[in-house]
Chain A
Amino acid sequence: MLDRLKSIEERYEKLNELLSDPEVVNDPKKLREYSKEQSDIQETVDVYRQYRDASEQLADAKAMLEEKLDAEMRDMVKEEISELQKETETLSERLKVLLIPKDPNDDKNVIMEIRGAAGGEEAALFAGNLYRMYSRYAELQGWKTEVMEANVTGTGGYKEIIFMITGSGAYSKLKYENGAHRVQRVPETESGGRIHTSTATVACLPEAEEVEVDIHEKDIRVDTFASSGPGGQSVNTTMSAVRLTHLPTGVVVSCQDEKSQIKNKEKAMKVLRARIYDKFQQEAQAEYDQTRKSAVGSGDRSERIRTYNFPQNRVTDHRIGLTIQKLDQILEGKLDEVVEALIVEDQASKLQQSEG
């Protein structure tokens, strides 16, 4: 571990040099690239330096014990040693976590898809609760939510709702939401007061860069709402929806935002790219999973990951056995406690894998 940290520190120093090199300073692309690389390892280097200082102090203190000391002094040094030992251990644990390879998608924006699954209208209403939860969570994080497609049911739930969340670190926090979410409650329409169980599925896809997925214009069929008739000045339409079909994969994406057709097309392209990227990733993941399995990994989409129990005001995440008695608050977007627990668990399991 120390060798790796040493080389990271060397790289950090090198980046310092590069970032003051006039050639780099005048090249915005390189400047951005190097600045990002440096800020990505900043914390690791800071903690490593603290660790190194503490280790040196610890060695010095131990050396002092070899010398002739009066009893009072000896006690003081012993106390110092025990404190420094604790400190180096804490720092070393932090370093292990910092050295876990970062998910390259963590900084990306996400496309989320929620679908009412088993349970008819109840499932659709629950899909609506989940959409509200994520959009409130996004709001609290200072992220932006834009709905691309919403298929509303007769009682105001969602058969399907697809939206994009834009903001720093969105994927790193939302990626654990992939899977089946289960609700237990008495539906408003249920006269006998029986508790029903329904499910909705959530998919969270990282936005894909153009370089990651190459889509050819000729492979796409474009449909709009107003495809017949003269169009142009003759028609005043408020339907700027665009539907794209990627012919080779059969992936279909629609976007109906209110902000102009040309922007809807651009956004639909983003979703299309993300879906195709996800398709490839899922295929690669399936292969990878045969050898290793991550406890809370964003793997199996049908896995039941969480239960929302209304009568008991309880949310249970089955992957980590976490139960929180604050369902009302969680549905209002206060997801932090759950997300943090999932991140910790994910890191612990990755740590185990890298050590094992």
Chain B
Amino acid sequence: MKTIFEALKWASSYLTEAGREENAAELLLLYDTGMERSKLLASLQEPIGEDELYRFKRHVEMHKEGVPVQYIIGKEFFYGREFMVNDDVLIPRPETEEVVFHLLEKYRSVFSEDGKLEVVDVGTGSGAIAVTLALENQSFSVSAVDISKEALQVASANAEKLGANVRFYQGDLLEPFIKAGKKADIIVSNPPYISEEEMADLSEIVRFHEPLHALTDGGDGLKFYKRFMEDIPLVMKDKVFVVFEIGWKQGAAVKDLILKAFKGAEVEVLKDINGKDRTICALIHKNK
């Protein structure tokens, strides 16, 4: 009979040798035993059940073959909440939590007036950004758009499970807003920003398993930001606060795009916890 520790030790070294992350084994074991982490760590010397061990081994094998842990266990934490994920959506990244954090910090200096603010999350995927914003700030009226019907199913299931009030629209970027003549106060987006060239360097876990259309534009990685520059004037009121997640070397390029498209825009490039360009915030006023 194997102990939980023995199972964990085997899986950790097996996965590490295959180039996977060390703690993947723990995440899979938590899932297969149904334990909380604090409990698992108090039970290392206990025997593991046969069925549990069988399932665990199968899941370790899947991850070794490249399936992301989060797709196996069907969830990922974002901003302290558990989001359901499957291979129709990009797995939320920790850096994106920071994008949300900056938006929540900075919007106040832009909108001093009371009342609801119309917020739209474009390319919502799992709904992580939209749902978090709706739950973190009561004065936001949140909409979310995605081109993928399957992604919207995941996102709306997350909104329902977490009790967030978000309206979902299927469509290409801001198209559903433009067609309906709706306006937004805040636009947030984490569009696919990896260039075709960079895609080759990605781990197989990302490249062959996560939705390609959520990772790359198939070109220089700036295509969607350029399209936003055309669409934003069609949905903005007198002013709009735009927050984008960007790639680690895109700060200058995206800032440039915004400044060229909107005279007098106030643009700020923020670095993530690891010191990389990650968030761009822009306050755009309607050209007089």
Cβ-based interface call for A258 (8 A): yes
Q: Which one, B27, B44, B93, contacts A233 given CB within 8 A?
A: B93
B247 and A230 contact, CB distance less than 8 A: yes
Name which residue of chain B comes closest to A257, CB basis. Answer: B37
Cβ-based interface call for B278 (8 A): yes
**Contacts A150-B41, A259-B80; A239 near B98 (Cβ below 8 A):** no
Cβ-based interface call for B272 (8 A): yes
Q: Which one, A125, A156, A161, A236, contacts B205 given CB within 8 A?
A: A236
**Contacts A231-B95, A237-B94, A262-B94; A161 near B41 (Cβ below 8 A):** yes
Among A35-50, those with CB < 8 Å from B are none
**Contacts A233-B93, A260-B94; A136 near B42 (Cβ below 8 A):** yes
Cβ-based interface call for A131 (8 A): yes
Residues of chain A within 8 A (CB-CB) of B275 are 227
Residues of chain A within 8 A (CB-CB) of B247 are 230, 232-234
A156 and B39 contact, CB distance less than 8 A: no
Give 1 or 0 for each of B182-198: 1 = CB within 8 Å of chain A CB. 00000000101110001
B80 and A222 contact, CB distance less than 8 A: no
Q: Which one, B98, B201, B202, contacts A262 given CB within 8 A?
A: B98
Cβ-based interface call for A226 (8 A): yes
A contact set with B: CB distance below 8 Å: 125, 128, 131-132, 135-136, 145-147, 150, 152, 155-156, 161, 163, 222, 224, 226-228, 230-240, 242, 256-263, 265
Shortest A159–chain B CB gap in Å is 13
Number of A-B contacts (CB under 8 A): 134
Please name 6 further chain A to chain B contacts, defined as beta carbons within 8 Å, in addition to the given A230-B198, A238-B70, sorted by A numbering.
A135-B38, A135-B42, A156-B6, A232-B245, A261-B273, A262-B94
Shortest B179–chain A CB gap in Å is 28
A261 and B94 contact, CB distance less than 8 A: yes
Residues of chain B within 8 A (CB-CB) of A236 are 68, 70, 91, 93, 203, 205-206, 210
Among B233-288, those with CB < 8 Å from A are 245, 247-249, 272-276, 278
Name which residue of chain B comes closest to A161, CB basis. Answer: B41
Shortest A337–chain B CB gap in Å is 21
19 contacts between A and B (CB under 8 A): A128-B45, A135-B38, A150-B41, A156-B5, A226-B274, A230-B276, A231-B272, A231-B278, A232-B193, A233-B93, A234-B194, A234-B198, A234-B206, A238-B24, A239-B23, A260-B77, A260-B94, A260-B97, A261-B97
What are the 8 A-B residue pairs with the smallest beta carbon separation, nearest first? A156-B5, A261-B94, A145-B38, A262-B97, A132-B42, A263-B80, A260-B77, A156-B44
B42 and A233 contact, CB distance less than 8 A: no
A232 and B278 contact, CB distance less than 8 A: yes
Residues of chain A within 8 A (CB-CB) of B3 are 156
CA distance A257 to B215 in the complex (A): 27
CA distance A132 to B38 in the complex (A): 9
Cβ-based interface call for B166 (8 A): no
B contact set with A: CB distance below 8 Å: 3, 5-6, 9, 21-24, 27, 30, 37-39, 41-45, 68-70, 77-81, 90-91, 93-98, 101, 190, 192-194, 198, 201-203, 205-206, 210, 214-215, 245, 247-249, 272-276, 278
CA distance A228 to B202 in the complex (A): 14
A156 and B37 contact, CB distance less than 8 A: no
A260 and B272 contact, CB distance less than 8 A: no
CA distance A239 to B273 in the complex (A): 14
- Mostly, the A contact residues are mixed
Residues of chain A within 8 A (CB-CB) of B78 are 260
Residues of chain B within 8 A (CB-CB) of A233 are 90, 93, 190, 192-194, 206, 214-215, 245, 247
A260 and B38 contact, CB distance less than 8 A: no
CA distance A131 to B198 in the complex (A): 45
Residues of chain B within 8 A (CB-CB) of A155 are 5
Shortest A138–chain B CB gap in Å is 8
Name which residue of chain B comes closest to A154, CB basis. Answer: B9
Shortest A244–chain B CB gap in Å is 11
Residues of chain B within 8 A (CB-CB) of A262 are 79-80, 94, 97-98, 101
Q: Which one, B6, B42, B248, B273, contacts A131 given CB within 8 A?
A: B42
Shortest A144–chain B CB gap in Å is 8
B79 and A260 contact, CB distance less than 8 A: yes
Residues of chain B within 8 A (CB-CB) of A150 are 41
Name which residue of chain B comes closest to A225, CB basis. Answer: B21
CA distance A228 to B5 in the complex (A): 31
CA distance A224 to B21 in the complex (A): 14
Name which residue of chain B comes closest to A131, CB basis. Answer: B42
Residues of chain B within 8 A (CB-CB) of A256 are 23
